[in-house]
A and B are shown apart, each in its own frame.
Chain A
Amino acid sequence: DVVMTQSPLSLPVTLGQTASISCRSSQSLVHSDGNTYLSWFQQRPGQSPRRLIYKVSNRDSGVPDRFSGSGSGTDFTLKISRVEAEDVGIYYCVQGTRLYTFGQGTKLEIK
């Protein structure tokens, strides 16, 4: 099974600053079709998860360009620029290359 490891698990950020979340997989996430199925989700308190980024770096419709994804193979990063109060929540990386595995989650809070 693929294990997804996120860091940090808690991320206090000052408004307007940049937040960075790391996600590492125990195996390469490159699929046999050549794609890398790594997504990022945001879960605000009391809400369902919402996808932000798919296939490493593609932003979903309506997602601000303050959110960006990067990485390859087993190492991936979500960057949130100019953090706003509405960004508070838990962020999960998810691999969909070999069934699906979620990371433990990173809780973003405002300092």
Chain B
Amino acid sequence: KNEVEQSPQNLTAQEGEFITINCSYSVGISALHWLQQHPGGGIVSLFMLSSGKKKHGRLIATINIQEKHSSLHITASHPRDSAVYICAAMTGNQFYFGTGTSLTVIP
């Protein structure tokens, strides 16, 4: 049983498409974290949110605390967005990670 579930597992999009990645969690959280893992393996933080919506460039993250659900949106997708996107739920001192969504954006 995973405390954090992501969908889809794999996603292929044409350049320019609007992309949505979903994350559902079953634990009570203090915050939710979206991460990006590059093809080379490095992991970077994209967003941390505990309510509402955050936007950074072409990336938008939303969270619905009542429904225990978060989404990551990418507008006007680009091949350089190709990566694995991971959501992580923080509860107490621990993080629970989804298995990631592998995104490939084709030119």
Q: Do A and B come from one complex?
A: no
